[in-house]
Amino acid sequence: MSEQLLGGIEKLKIERNAVILAHNYQPDEIQDLADFRGDSLGLSIKAAETDADIIVFCGVKFMAETAAILSPQKTVLLPDKLAGCPLADMITADQLRELKEKHPDALVVCYVNSSAEVKAESDYCCTSANAVEVVNSLPEDKPIIFVPDQHLGQFVSERTGRDLILWPGYCHVHVVITEQDIENAKTMHPDAVVMAHPECTEQVKALSDQLLSTGQMLRYADKSDAKKFIIATEIGMIHALKKQNPQAEFIPASEKAVCPNMKRITLEKVLWSLQDMQYKVAVPQDIRTKAKKAIDRMVEILPR
């Protein structure tokens, strides 16, 4: 069955000059099918660079929207229209406008996990891979509003030594990983390196050795001499890491860290998406132009 699906996808991909991009949290078979797999920053760069006519974005809506903003001449398809990100929905453009009124001198940095409307209200956009570099690039005398993820914001504040005006958003997948989970995993695997995503709670991050975006986790594991890693992020990462380093051991900090929205994408939906050209993700021109300024800055400021 899956052979047939894969064959059908491959055929349509060629006929339509399409490229398949997949985030590191996608189901294993979608990661394996993709032309490019990566973190939010890497996928945004790929989406901007590709000369394909169609991008099938296997991820969540804000990722497909970012691709549509960067490449309006391409058709961007999200195979499941309900694949959203609850963190991105935790702040609306109206709420951000209200916050800006309270801090009229502040610059606004939004995490890429946000709607196109919120990006349009922001000066800079960032991902977890370059949030520190983006904030470090801003003038020292300017207050900074950082939305919507409070935990990434705390991490950036610590790394840059700057006070940020934070918004109380959070990722429900990362906050289920507890201090106890890390302590238990460390007791069972005392020789393992703990890698955590900055969206984890401050308590979990304090117990971790490395705080990294998903793409940075892959690069770190590849270069490291360590052979065992405890992974505090969405469990899709385990497949991505094992595929790259089959000789190393990757232990999920919590089996409960599953993003149901990422797992909405299936092989069937990718095939239907290419057959029916569904679901097209487009951003109205006025929002797109404003949001693009913030996103262009995000893809220009690369992590060290």
Q: Which of 171, 182, 195, 274 binds ligand 13P (CB under 6 A)?
A: 171
Q: Which of 261, 279, 291, 295 binds ligand SF4 (CB under 6 A)?
A: 261
Site string for ligand SF4, 111-140 (x = CB under 6 A): --x---------------------------
Select 177 or 207, whichever has its Cβ closest to ligand 13P: 177
CB-CB contact of 298 with 124 (8 Å): yes
How far is Cα 140 from Cα 244, in angstroms, rounded to an integer? 40
Instruction: Tell whether residue 86 is a contact of ligand SF4 (CB under 6 A).
Output: yes
How far is Cα 64 from Cα 224, in angstroms, rounded to an integer? 32
Can you tell me whether residue 92 is helix, strand or coil?
A: coil
Q: Which of 166, 204, 241, 259 binds ligand SF4 (CB under 6 A)?
A: 259
CA–CA distances in Å: residue 192 to residues 15, 149, 249, 251 = 46, 28, 9, 9
- Per the listing, tokens 């406008």 go with 97
Cβ 107 to ligand 13P, closest distance in Å? 21
Instruction: Tell whether residue 65 is a contact of ligand 13P (CB under 6 A).
Output: no
Instruction: Tell whether residue 39 is a contact of ligand 13P (CB under 6 A).
Output: yes
Within 8 A by CB and 6+ apart from 25, the residues are 59, 214, 234, 236, 237, 259, 262
**Residues 241-300 contacting ligand 13P, CB under 6 A:** none
Helix 267-276 to helix 2-16 angle (10° resolution) is: 30
Instruction: Tell whether residue 150 is a contact of ligand 13P (CB under 6 A).
Output: no
Instruction: Tell whether residue 113 is a contact of ligand 13P (CB under 6 A).
Output: yes
**Contacting positions for ligand SF4 (CB under 6 A):** 25, 60, 85-87, 113, 171, 173, 234, 259, 261-262
**Contacting positions for ligand 13P (CB under 6 A):** 24, 39-40, 113, 127-128, 171, 199, 213-214
